[in-house]
Structure 1
Amino acid sequence: MFLLTILLILLSSIGQQLWRISNVEKTYIVRRLEKQIVVFQNQWATVGNADRIEIPDSLEQMLRARIDRMSSEPKSILQCCAVIGRTVDHVILEQISDDIADLDTNLGQLIALDMIDPQHSPSGQFEYVFEHIVTHNIAYSMVPVVTRRNLHTRIGDSVLLKNQDNPERVLEQLANHYHQGNDGSKALIHLAKAGRKAKQQYNHQVALKLYTQGLEHLGESSVDLLEEQIIIHEGLGDVYKIQGEFDTAIKHFEQAAQITGSALREAKIKRKIADVFEKRSEYETATEMLQQALEDLKNQPNLVEEATIYNSMGWIHSQKGDYTRAIDMATRALKLVEGTTAYDIIASINKNLGNYYFRKGDLEKTNLYFENGISQAELIGDKMLMAQLYNNLGLVENMIGKVESALDNYKKSIELKKQIGDNVGLTNSYSNLGSLYSTMNDFDASLKCHQNALEIAQRSGLRENIANVENNLGNFYFKQGDNNQATDHYLISLDIRKEIGNLPGLAEVYINLTGVNLKEGNLETAEKYSREGLRTAEEISVPQAIAHAWNKVGMVQQQKKDWREAIKSFSKAAEIADKANMTLEIAEANRCTGEVLIEMGNQDQAKTSLQKALEIYKKIKSIDNIELTQQSLSKLGKHLPN
């Protein structure tokens, strides 16, 4: 099908003369394909979809026969061209065809037979091209294996000689030829280099292919080439970690660590293994590995690697809810590299410090560190860091009510993470975007985002990410009034977060379980969860969580008609939220305060609180809360004190 599709497209556009098919061959093809092709004005054309045309075996056989009928020298040149590639550099062809007496005459014959076409490259160099991939594939397949491997090695040598001033730009071409050649050492060296280049350019699928090809040549080399082996195993670990294949990543990191003789290199690899354990929420194992890495550095000190390790330690503390220690570790890391050119680690530290201060409710420092991080990430073109920072900016903007900006930054983050194949990071961005769509009442888009996030998280075995998506799915169903489904998802999230000891996540789920039990009228259960949420939030000293918890405590008291205690709780929530510039929590505290004041008969103050809430809800486009607040405002003047 593939052969004929290309053949017919070409014939229908430039006619039968290109292939110089005889009348006998033409008659045979037309008889075999009379319902699929027609001859119109001496041109061939397809009937219907060319992809569905069945190819007769003899078409390939006819092309093979035409090549077989060539004399030895044109055939040899054609095969050399085929091994070079679909585009043939004339200089390279000359170097590997030095045993051919009259190269140009033979090339002329191939051109006359329409096997290749001459052209000038964009740089002005003379070259030839196989216009039809069919011709190239068949000519290549007809080169004997031993001859083919020898030619690939010679072509690699010629390409390297021609580009000796800048071999970096042809690394993948060199890797391809040496991989298919007969020199294992050259293959290993260039596959390692080309894989590293592809990884640095975030072309992870190409890097994975090149590194995997490199594994095939381990043991073939006459020398050890330990450096290349380390590059390949460490590179595979990096790529598999990004793709969420953690067991395979650890296996390759450990293989790299076993053969390195450098304390610094071993420390770096142990830190990478620790990062994998952290992603699997195995915080104690990750911390132990980082401590080992610090011990290794005593034998070969390096400030940048030491800073990177302390930055990783800070992140683990943040995952456990200890933001004070997280800030201490990150600040220590930043001091080690300030004034250096280690912009990637400096940007990463700034990103993490922004996260920690965001959790502590200091939005001024949050924005400062995020903006510093983005400028440094853009300076060095670090797409992964840029994607993470766009996601984090979206979180901040969502919290302060800048919905459109948040939406834009989440989408930027997702696009970059798709480009670089950051499957792990995509779960967070999809989940955050889904929550934002839910706030905007775009439930179809919200559910699709959450499902994408959950699929990636489950495939990668990311327990905290799974817990986060389950919690957000609970929010989604709660907002739609499906309390049973909401509770199921919240409880899945609760179990995972209890098991891995994620205190910030626990506080969040306790608070959400309070809300769903209030809706169901389970006051006793709601009160229990509200107190657990408040206790956990105060333990980790996160203003957002504390304000949210006080709001939920107040709602329980409101349901119990304990008006004065409810007012106190909402006031505490509003005070904390106001200091942290938490728009949604400020609005919720004011709305609930207004509802209680209506019950207490204080309609003027109730109106003030409700109007303040309504103004915020309109700003952040929270449609459900706008309607709820307007309903409360409509009660004014109609409600007698209770």
Structure 2
Amino acid sequence: SFQREDHVTLIPLPRLTEADTKAFLSQRDDTALIADQLSHWLYQETDGNPLFFISLIQSLREEGLLENELDPDWFTRIQTEPNRTLPEAILASVGSRLLRLSKTERGVLDWMAVFGRSLDFSTLQEINNQSQITLLNALEQLLARELLLEIEGKYDFAHNKIREVVYHNLSAARRIFYHQQIGSKLEELTPSSADSAILAHHFEGGQEYDKALEYWLDAGEHALDIYAYQQAVQHFERALALTDQKAPQMDAYLGLGRAFTLSDDYDGASAVIQQGLLQAEKAGDNLRRTQFLYAQAQNANRQHRPDGGKEEVEAALSAAEQTGNDHYLTLSLLLLTEVHESDGNLGSALETADRARAVSHGLHDNLLEARALLEIGFLHAQRADFDKAVSAAGLGLQLLEGTDDRNALAYGWNILGRALGGRGDYSRALDAFNRCHEEAGIIGDRYLLAQVFNMRGWLHRELGDFENGLKLDQEGIKSAKRWDKPSPEISARLNLCLDLLQLGDPKRVLGLLEEIEEQINAGSFGFHSWRWQLRLLHTRGLCALALDKPAQVAALAEEGLQLAELKEARKYIALNHGLFGVALAVLDRVDEAVRELELAVALADEIQYQPIRWEERFQLAHLYRQKKSLKAAGETISEANEIIQLISENLDDELLRTTFSKMTLDLYHQIVGDDGPGK
């Protein structure tokens, strides 16, 4: 031993960190350009063990895998060829340690290597069939030799490379036998769906392919239920690889299509859904045909195409009606609701959502009924029936209590936030959006995560907190672009224009609006082009007002009013009446201005849209004074003051209460011109 030599000094080598591995690779000519990609994988493979790290690097170099850093397939080849992660140096190093073990100790490692993950003593005894004392003695020796670790009552290999070497050294027949035994033992323990992937793995390793197929399908469904979409893809792909039987193939195609859709791989989803649909039609399987048509419609709808996937949705609806399948009828009706809403046909959308609720109620399916209620809430919010929207969203969330559908919960809190914010219940709206963000974060719903930023930005702007509103909308744009979510992106960009306008930069806003209009006309933002046009027209009108172009303001307000009335969008009807009235006032058409502003205030009072309720009352008070109607002016200012006071009292956030008070006072001075509200 070197320890006996006087001239030898033993230097212990600490484990490398991931930063150490990256630094090492960055200094070598053949790995410098791929250091970022390679360092993380190497660190995961070796756990920072210097011997394993150097051995693996040398093996890759000798295989020629590091000679062409521009080859796009090099990293895939490294990851998918297991033998490359076990070079001779590692096999020899670990192998020499294994040779010193007793037969019992080696047997324990063999079973654990096939088991593939940490396990407790009782599970190890179940699969190993050794007496307690024999097994305890073996474990103590393996722990002492630092081949195993014990953490919180569970045993695992001290390094994954040890497990890989042990597994590598087993004969094929022994691996198959061990996998069969482990699968059978685990199956006896009455496993839940959460264990299906483990069972599938062992039964496939044990060449019991029918059982493996059954468990891979179940594992895929479980992964979908817990929003682990990439895992679901892997499980369903394993199922497909194990069978040529039509029924399980179709089930795997259906699950795989759903997983691809939910992970935003729309092309992948379309391909496998089409394969499954062709099989179902060829087999005359009407139930599965209905399921595939719905999956196809859902995939088309989630892409936010301008037509909302109308053709696919109508095909799914027709199939559900023909088969009398009320479950898929409800789901298809909910998609049709989104198609109508995308067209701006809010009346038809609401009728369709009401029908979906009635069918789901007959099924006694709380989850489906909740989803229908949330769509009804969304539509009422679009029509500025904010109280009805709050009621529908609240009922939907009540039905979702006790369920594990976090996707529906996240959407429900989003709808409730919109409805509460629409009627000026700002603190509760912010709380609802916080809940939406929390639920969406748990399941990784990128659409809602991107959208919730501009929802918060909207509320901060309405409360005069323009700086934070700007920051939130900028984050919303960044997130939407990163995740390719066009609808939240345009919403945040239009919000950003309003932020910049409030901060005094109307010329810049006009330039941004031109870019947005070009993209709307090109169909870049898919869904809801009518809504984007409404917001675009109104924001342009505000810009023209800031640039002292009242005639242009009036023209834009009239155009916006026509579109808003066509779509029954009452919030924008009120906004455009108000904008038109302000433009007419600047043009000295006072009587017409008063009429428009009174229409705006009356509608805003009806729908409880707060910004118009108080701000346009300031405008009216100013015009009443011009007309010498001092009593009407005083009453109008008092009404505005009461509205402002009530909003302020209900704000929990001190900063927002301060910014709101400052904004309202500034606007009062700007519009009315005396000492302040109530004077």
Return the TM-score normalized by structure 2.
0.77
Give the Cα separation in 1 of the matches to 2:118 and 2:6. Answer: 29
Give the Cα separation in 2 of the matches to 1:516 and 1:361. Answer: 24
Return the letter of the residue paired with 2:11: R
Task: Report the Cα offset of residue 576 of structure 1.
Answer: 0.8
Residue number in structure 2 paired with 1:3: none
CA contact (8 A) 1:244 1:424 kept: no
CA contact (8 A) 2:470 2:500 kept: no
User: Are 2:585 and 1:558 aligned?
Assistant: yes
Matches within 5 A, 1:529-544: 529-544=556-571
Matches within 5 A, 1:311-330: 311-330=334-353
CA contact (8 A) 1:277 1:286 kept: yes
Task: Report the Cα offset of residue 557 of structure 1.
Answer: 1.0
Give the Cα separation in 2 of the matches to 1:26 and 1:560. Answer: 102
> Over residues 399-435 of structure 1, what are the superposed CA-to-partner deviations in whole Å (9 max), with x where a residue is unaligned?
2222111111101001101111211222322221122
CA contact (8 A) 2:430 2:456 kept: yes
In structure 2, relative to structure 1, the CA distance for the partners of 1:576 and 1:237 (3 Å cut) is same
CA RMSD after TM alignment: 3.7
Give the Cα separation in 2 of the matches to 1:34 and 1:360. Answer: 65
In structure 2, relative to structure 1, the CA distance for the partners of 1:276 and 1:625 (3 Å cut) is farther
Structure 1: give runs of 5+ residues left out of the alignment. Answer: 1-20, 37-50, 122-127
Which is further off, 574-583 or 353-362? Answer: 353-362
Task: Report the Cα offset of residue 285 of structure 1.
Answer: 6.5
Residue number in structure 1 paired with 2:51: 57
CA contact (8 A) 1:317 1:326 kept: yes
Return the letter of the residue paired with 2:568: S
Give 1:518's match in structure 2, choosing from 538, 542, 545: 545
User: Are 2:273 and 1:246 aligned?
Assistant: no
CA contact (8 A) 1:573 1:585 kept: yes
In structure 2, relative to structure 1, the CA distance for the partners of 1:434 and 1:73 (3 Å cut) is same
Give 2:109's match in structure 1, choosing from 57, 67, 78: 78
In structure 2, relative to structure 1, the CA distance for the partners of 1:442 and 1:578 (3 Å cut) is closer
Task: Report the Cα offset of residue 476 of structure 1.
Answer: 1.9
Give the Cα separation in 2 of the matches to 1:80 and 1:29. Answer: 39
Residue number in structure 2 paired with 1:494: 517
In structure 2, relative to structure 1, the CA distance for the partners of 1:167 and 1:374 (3 Å cut) is closer
Residue number in structure 2 paired with 1:6: none
User: Are 2:211 and 1:211 aligned?
Assistant: no
CA contact (8 A) 2:230 2:263 kept: no
User: Are 2:172 and 1:146 aligned?
Assistant: yes
Give the Cα separation in 1 of the matches to 2:183 and 2:599. Answer: 74
Secondary structure at the counterpart of residue 363 of structure 2: coil
In structure 2, relative to structure 1, the CA distance for the partners of 1:77 and 1:326 (3 Å cut) is same
Residue number in structure 2 paired with 1:124: none
Task: Report the Cα offset of residue 570 of structure 1.
Answer: 0.6
CA contact (8 A) 1:313 1:329 kept: yes
Give 2:142's match in structure 1, choosing from 110, 113, 118: 110
Task: Report the Cα offset of residue 375 of structure 1.
Answer: 0.8
CA contact (8 A) 2:290 2:319 kept: yes
Give the number of aligned pairs.
Answer: 592
Task: Report the Cα offset of residue 197 of structure 1.
Answer: 1.0
Which is further off, 172-181 or 391-400? Answer: 172-181
Return the TM-score normalized by structure 1.
0.81
Matches within 5 A, 1:114-193: 114-116=146-148, 129-130=155-156, 132-133=158-159, 137=163, 140=166, 142-144=168-170, 146=172, 149-150=175-176, 153-163=179-189, 165-178=190-203, 182-193=207-218
Secondary structure at the counterpart of residue 119 of structure 2: strand
Residue number in structure 2 paired with 1:595: 622
Return the letter of the residue paired with 1:65: S
Task: Report the Cα offset of residue 153 of structure 1.
Answer: 2.6
Give the Cα separation in 1 of the matches to 2:666 and 2:628. Answer: 19
Secondary structure at the counterpart of residue 500 of structure 2: helix
Matches within 5 A, 1:439-458: 439-443=462-466, 445-458=468-481
In structure 2, relative to structure 1, the CA distance for the partners of 1:212 and 1:563 (3 Å cut) is same
Give the Cα separation in 2 of the matches to 1:237 and 1:212. Answer: 12
Structure 2: give runs of 5+ residues left out of the alignment. Answer: 17-42, 54-89, 649-656
CA contact (8 A) 1:487 1:516 kept: yes
Give 2:555's match in structure 1, choosing from 497, 507, 528: 528
Sequence identity (%): 18
Residue number in structure 1 paired with 2:597: 570
Task: Report the Cα offset of residue 120 of structure 1.
Answer: 9.3
Give the Cα separation in 2 of the matches to 1:389 and 1:25. Answer: 73
In structure 2, relative to structure 1, the CA distance for the partners of 1:78 and 1:396 (3 Å cut) is same
In structure 2, relative to structure 1, the CA distance for the partners of 1:268 and 1:589 (3 Å cut) is farther
In structure 2, relative to structure 1, the CA distance for the partners of 1:299 and 1:610 (3 Å cut) is closer
In structure 2, relative to structure 1, the CA distance for the partners of 1:138 and 1:209 (3 Å cut) is same
Task: Report the Cα offset of residue 108 of structure 1.
Answer: 5.4
Task: Report the Cα offset of residue 345 of structure 1.
Answer: 1.3
> Over residues 135-165 of structure 1, what are the superposed CA-to-partner deviations in whole Å (9 max), with x where a residue is unaligned?
75465565447368526632542344322x4
Secondary structure at the counterpart of residue 31 of structure 1: coil
In structure 2, relative to structure 1, the CA distance for the partners of 1:403 and 1:119 (3 Å cut) is closer
Task: Report the Cα offset of residue 132 of structure 1.
Answer: 3.4
User: Are 2:18 and 1:31 aligned?
Assistant: no
Give the Cα separation in 2 of the matches to 1:549 and 1:310. Answer: 33
Matches within 5 A, 1:122-521: 129-130=155-156, 132-133=158-159, 137=163, 140=166, 142-144=168-170, 146=172, 149-150=175-176, 153-163=179-189, 165-178=190-203, 182-202=207-227, 204=228, 207-216=229-238, 218-221=240-243, 224=245, 226-227=247-248, 229-260=249-280, 261=283, 262-284=285-307, 286-443=309-466, 445-498=468-521, 499=523, 500=526, 502-521=529-548
Task: Report the Cα offset of residue 286 of structure 1.
Answer: 1.8
Give the Cα separation in 2 of the matches to 1:153 and 1:604. Answer: 89
CA contact (8 A) 1:398 1:436 kept: yes
Secondary structure at the counterpart of residue 636 of structure 1: coil
CA contact (8 A) 2:257 2:268 kept: yes
Which is further off, 238-247 or 503-512? Answer: 238-247
CA contact (8 A) 1:79 1:143 kept: no
Residue number in structure 2 paired with 1:636: 674
Give the Cα separation in 1 of the matches to 2:262 and 2:567. Answer: 29
CA contact (8 A) 1:311 1:333 kept: yes
In structure 2, relative to structure 1, the CA distance for the partners of 1:345 and 1:510 (3 Å cut) is same
Give the Cα separation in 1 of the matches to 2:118 and 2:7. Answer: 33
